[in-house]
Each structure stands twice: as structure tokens, then as C-alpha cells.
Structure 1
Amino acid sequence: MKIYLLNILLLIIYSMIFLQDTPRKNHKIFCLLASLNWIILSGLRDLSIGPDTLKYGYYFEKAKNISWATLWSERVNIFIHETLGKDPGYIVFQKIIQLFAANYRAYLIAIALIFTVPLGIWIYKNSANPLMSFIIYSCLFYSFFSITGTRQTVATAMVVFIGYKFIKKGVFLPFLLLVLIAMTIHFSAICYLPFYFIANKEITNRYLLLYGSIFMGTFIFRVSIFRLGSKLIGYDQYLPFEETGTTWTFSIFLMALTILTLLKKNEILKNNKWAKHYINALLIAALFVPLTFVNPAAMRVIQYYSLFIILLVPEIINSFPKRERFFVFFVAASTLILLLIKNNPTYMFFWQL
């Protein structure tokens, strides 16, 4: 826990140096230092930190025993018939990394770089308040993307952080190519494909009325929708009510944020035309919340869209009058940090006993 709070303290110190009435180029330094913090924490963690860290270590060692010749000669069986398991592109990805990083520790650092560098660039180019953006990441998203889900972490970096520039430019083919490649690493990436067509939807009252109807339908038929969706994306092993645990805290937070966003949408959109992308992403994330009550595994889909909270919350803060913004920032940051403390996450560097 202490290391995570220290990380946030460092973020605040960095912001006091580089974000206080300084040229925007200094924002780049802030994002670089903030990203470096998370690269260190993610790449140098002990193998006991993260429920899947050891499992992915086993996959990494297993991939060493599969030759490039086998991958080429058996490409049809591997990629079509999945003889080496689901998401066969991940094996190829591991083999490429192993050309440069032969041990698992170096691989963890490589994964941290592959995810966190695009994250930092994404925040630098799009966030109105990089400090708030990194606090949100540190309190809400690090436990999955920096500690746990390696395959989806790589896929998310490709389609969300890199792919977003193609959404902004309206260039479909490069975006589609990224999604297709990411799907071979984690098939859930296909769930992000519709965002290209939804991102620019205007947030009108008629649109929100239609959205509300769809949301109610999702809530009522959540079990059937979960069964159908899990089969379509190839993860039908996640049966309804199979897993224990809930996502109540995050779900309540997401729904409360959605309501606040809709109340402030006019001011938000007036300040930043691209904010409609962030709002549409939040609406999609909220649409999937009822499915998490069926099985928490639905969070895998929500994660692709809920990351836009990192960009949206700074816009919400900016929608308040200037004299109120610091107070709103303080309340938001304090709430996030209290949630982090409540979760009481553990951490240990690999050299610690």
C-alpha cells in the first residue's frame, strides 16, 4: 500500500514542478516521469504480485520450446484450429519479445513499456489535466493493466491508445488492422471495434432516450445477453454466476459518473469538441454494467471503454466555474485515493523477501 501512496505523492510533486503555469512542453516531462513510475512498479514487481503473474511466466517459458519453424509449418492449425490454445497471436508476440528479452523479468519490463509508454503519450496529447488522469489510472486501473491481465494489456495498448488517433482522424483501415492483430492476442479486442462508428455520435436528447431504452433492455435481459455475447467472442467458459465476487464499487462509481457527465454535458462539449468521444465511451461502458452482475468477467469488455474516464474527468472538472475547480479536483482526487486505501493493495519488489 505504501508504495502506491508514495507514487501518488510523487505525481503531486511532479505536477508542482512541471504543471504550474509552465509551457505545455513541460507537460511532456510530467507524463514521462509519471509513466516511468508505473514502468518501474509494473516491471519490477515480485512474481507473487498479481494473480496471473506466475501463470504468464509459465506461458513465457513454454513459448521458448515452440520454434519459429513450428509456428510457420503449423500456422493453419495454430491460428484456425487453435491447437496451441486460444489467442494464438500471443505466442507469436512472446516469440518476438524473446528475440530481445530471454528471461521473464525482462519480459515484464517490456510489457510495462509496451502499455505505459502509449498510455503516457495518450494522456499527454488528450488530457486537460495530466495529474488527475494519472491519479485516476493509479487508483482505478493499475491493478488490471499494470499487475494482472498481460494479454489484454497488450491488446488494449494497441486498440485504445494507438488506435484512438485513427478514430480522431476518421481513418478506418489502420484502425481495423490494429483490432484484427489485437484480436489474435486477446479476442475481446473485437468489442472495441464498434467504437469507431459510435465515437462521433452527437449527444442529443433523442440519442440519450434511445440509449436509456437499450440500457433497460440490457438490464432486463442481462443473463441471455451475457450467454450470447460470451459465445460470440469465444469466451463461453465464463458462465453466468460462475465466479464469486462483485464489482459493486466500480459499477456504482461508473453509474454516478455517467449521471454527473450527462448533467454537465453541455459545458463539457462546449469546452472540448473531442469530449463527445469520452462521453460515448463512458455510455458504452455503463451499458455493460448490468452484465457484471451476471459475471464479473464482463469487466473485460468495460475496460476498453472505461479507460476514457482518464480523459473525461478532467473535462468534467473544467466544466465548473474556475473558482470551484480546485475544490472539485480535491474532492475527486481524495475520493479516488480513499478507494485505493480501502482496497488495501499489496506490493513487493522482486528483490524483497
Structure 2
Amino acid sequence: MVTFLAMLLLIVLTYPYFNRKKLLLKDRTVSLKTIYIFLVSLMLIIILGLRGLSVGIDTTAYYNSFEKMQFNSLSQTLDVQIEHGYKLYEYTIDRVFGEFQYLLVFMAIFYISVVSFYIYKFSQNAMYSYLLFILFGFYTFGFSAIRQTIAIALIMIAFKYIIEKRLIPFLTFVLLASSFHITALIFLPSYWLNKIKLNRRILLLFSLIALIIIGLRNELFSFLTSYSKNNYTEIETGGSFLYLFILFSVIIGVIYRKMLINKNENNKYFFYMMITALLIMPVTQFHPAVTRLYYYFFIFMIIYVPNLFNSIDDKLIRFIGMGGYIIIGLYLFFGKIIYNTDLDNYLFFWQ
């Protein structure tokens, strides 16, 4: 826990110095935001990539899979029905480096680099984006769900092509993501979301669907879990707290949507992702096999939320809103995430 607390403090305490736009040198200027993002990224990569086997719920399982694969040929490695991308990644790391630690390091470099690219290019507050990324579990997700973490990073690359309206690259990266985790295919319809206009009728429809889901959540839970071989409580599969939080985030976006989109046209795409996360999350929470399906959409909140509050002119509302998200995030991170993901006793691989 001390490791993560120190990491959060460094992100916060160093930001005021780097928040100036430019650093004047002898013959050129350097963006301090770039330096800040690079240093934070490096720290996140080191902690994620150099962890020991005891850190993270499934790290040992991935290690055992890697060890077993060492005796297989390429044809044997790829002799699976789905998710060939991860198997090929695993095989390549083994043949080139021969050590499982490199698999973690390269995953960390890829994931954090993609996230940091988004923060650099789209976020109005880099520090706040990194805090949301960590406190709401997106960073710690990489300590356990390696395959889906890589898939999420690839989906984030695909999302860029939604903004650029380039269908072929979008499809390519979604399909590539599905070769690491088949659930990434749920992101395919996202390309056409930009065709939907955010008028009152559409927003009313989305709100109605959300309210129906909330009202029937217990019935849906009972119905869907009746088809599961295991018994899961609502708390074990996520509960409704986070769902209400996402709903609240969308409601704020609805209220201030004009300011949000006027600030930057690209913000509407992040708003679409939050709405989609809101609509699909209740269903995904009822079965552990797809529990984190909404992460493909919800991860864009690290851009959506800072930009949303940045678009609000009222300083008091902005302060209360941003502070509220941090308080909720601290509660989730130190009260639940750390302990539920075996991260309370962090060790580097050499310890």
C-alpha cells in the first residue's frame, strides 16, 4: 500500500511545477506537460512491469501458463480456438527473451504508453486523469488481467480512428484486440455511435433505458445468475454503487453537454463511451466471465471527467465535483481495490 500511496503523492506534488506551458532553454522551448507525462509514465511502467509474482491475483497463473508453453512448438502454441494474439505474444517473449518478467514489462510499456498518449493529446488536466486512472482501478487492472489489459490498450488505439472516421484501421485494431481477449468484439458498434445526434429525444431514451435497468436490477440479477453454475452475490459481481456513479457522471454530462462539446468537438466521443458503459454495465455485472466488459468504454472517463469539469465556468461547482470524484476514488482504491486484487503487499520481482 505504501508504494501506491507514494506514487499518488508524487503525481500530485510534482504537477504544480510541470503545469507551466513551456520551459525556455537556450535555443528552444520544451513542453513541461510532455516531461511530466513521461516521468509519470516511467514510474507507472516500473511499478507495473517489475512486480513480483505475488503481486496481482492472476500473475502466478500467467506465469504457470508461460512456463508450460516453453515446451511447445509454434503450431502447438497456436492450437487454440480463440485469442491467438496473446499466445503468439507469449511465444515470442519466450523465444526472444526466455523470461516471464519481460512479458510483464512489455505489457506495461504498451498499456501505459497508450493511456499516456490519450492524456497528452486529449486531457485538459493530466494530473487529474492519472489520478482517475489509478483510483478507479484501470491501472491496477493491469496487475491481474494481462490479456484484457492489452486488449483495452488496442481498443483505445481503435477509438482514435473513430474520431478520425477511418473504418478499416478501426476494424483492424478491434479484431487484433479480440485476439487477446474475445470480449473486445463488443466495441465494434462504437464506430457508428458518432452518427447518433445528442438531442433531447435520444438523451431521454437513454435515460429511460437506464432507469428501467436500475428498477429491474434485482430481477435481472436473479434471472441471469440462474443460468450460472456458480452462486454470486451482487457485491461479488460489482454491485450497484459504481453503476450509480457512472449514471451520475452521465447526468452531469447531459446538463453541461453544450459547454463540454463547445470546448472541444472530440469530447462528444468520450461522452458516448460513458453512455455506452452506463447501458451495458448492469448486464455485465451479473456474470464474472464478462464482469469487466464495460471497461472497454468506461476507461475513457479518465479523459471525459477532467474535460467535463474544465468546461464548467462555475469554480465552486468545478471544485466540489473534482473533489468528490477524488474522495470516491480514494474510498474505492484504498477501501476495496487494493485488498481485492492482492496489491496490499507490493514487492518487486527481485525482492
- Shorter chain as denominator, the TM-score bin is 0.7 to 0.9
Distance 2:265 2:54 in 1: 44
1:44/1:105 contact within 8 Å kept: yes
1:35/1:117 contact within 8 Å kept: yes
The alpha-carbon deviation at position 146 of structure 1 amounts to: 2.3
Distance 2:247 2:291 in 1: 14
1:241/1:294 contact within 8 Å kept: no
Please say if 1:51 is aligned against 2:51: no
Q: Give structure 1 stretches of 5+ with no counterpart.
A: 228-235
* 2:238 alignment partner, one of 247, 272, 297: 247
Aligned length: 333
CA, structure 1 residues 52+143, in 2 after alignment: closer, same or farther (shift >3 Å)?
Answer: farther
Distance 1:171 1:253 in 2: 32
Distance 2:320 2:203 in 1: 30
> So what's the TM-score if we normalise by structure 1?
0.85
* 1:148 alignment partner, one of 124, 144, 148: 144
Distance 1:108 1:210 in 2: 43
Distance 1:342 1:273 in 2: 36
1:133/1:314 contact within 8 Å kept: yes
Aligned to 2:130: 134
CA, structure 1 residues 194+218, in 2 after alignment: closer, same or farther (shift >3 Å)?
Answer: farther
Aligned to 1:174: 169
Aligned to 2:27: none
- 1:261-276 paired onto structure 2 within 5 Å: 261-276=253-268
Aligned to 2:283: 291
2:261/2:268 contact within 8 Å kept: yes
Aligned to 2:14: 14
The alpha-carbon deviation at position 57 of structure 1 amounts to: 0.6
The alpha-carbon deviation at position 127 of structure 1 amounts to: 0.8
Aligned to 1:165: 160
Distance 2:98 2:273 in 1: 38
Please say if 1:31 is aligned against 2:31: no
Distance 2:256 2:312 in 1: 9
Aligned to 1:103: 99
Percent of matched pairs sharing the same residue? 25
Please say if 1:308 is aligned against 2:300: yes
Distance 1:218 1:199 in 2: 24
Aligned to 1:350: 348
CA, structure 1 residues 202+344, in 2 after alignment: closer, same or farther (shift >3 Å)?
Answer: closer
CA, structure 1 residues 225+276, in 2 after alignment: closer, same or farther (shift >3 Å)?
Answer: farther
Distance 1:223 1:327 in 2: 34
Please say if 1:187 is aligned against 2:178: no
CA, structure 1 residues 17+304, in 2 after alignment: closer, same or farther (shift >3 Å)?
Answer: same
The alpha-carbon deviation at position 105 of structure 1 amounts to: 1.5
CA RMSD, Structure 1 to Structure 2 (Å)? 2.7
The alpha-carbon deviation at position 131 of structure 1 amounts to: 0.6
Aligned to 2:206: 211
Tell me which amino acid in the other structure corresponds to 2:238. Answer: T
Distance 1:188 1:349 in 2: 31
* 2:251 alignment partner, one of 259, 276, 281: 259
The alpha-carbon deviation at position 322 of structure 1 amounts to: 5.9
The alpha-carbon deviation at position 152 of structure 1 amounts to: 0.4
The more displaced of 45-54 and 91-100 is: 91-100
Please say if 1:201 is aligned against 2:207: no
Distance 1:3 1:245 in 2: 26
Q: Give structure 2 stretches of 5+ with no counterpart.
A: 24-29, 339-343
| SS of residue paired to 1:38 | helix
Aligned to 2:121: 125
Distance 1:180 1:42 in 2: 26
Please say if 1:5 is aligned against 2:1: no
2:250/2:274 contact within 8 Å kept: yes
The alpha-carbon deviation at position 226 of structure 1 amounts to: 5.6
* 1:112 alignment partner, one of 97, 102, 108: 108
**Can you list the C-alpha shifts for 1:145-173, whole angstroms capped at 9, x where unaligned?**
3211011011111111x112211110011
1:285/1:302 contact within 8 Å kept: yes
> So what's the TM-score if we normalise by structure 2?
0.85
The alpha-carbon deviation at position 87 of structure 1 amounts to: 2.2
The more displaced of 339-348 and 6-15 is: 339-348
Aligned to 2:85: 89
Please say if 1:329 is aligned against 2:322: yes
**Can you list the C-alpha shifts for 1:20-42, whole angstroms capped at 9, x where unaligned?**
35478221111111111211111
2:261/2:267 contact within 8 Å kept: yes
Tell me which amino acid in the other structure corresponds to 2:16. Answer: M
**Can you list the C-alpha shifts for 1:163-205, whole angstroms capped at 9, x where unaligned?**
1221111001111111112212110010111111114532211
| SS of residue paired to 1:138 | helix
| SS of residue paired to 2:293 | helix
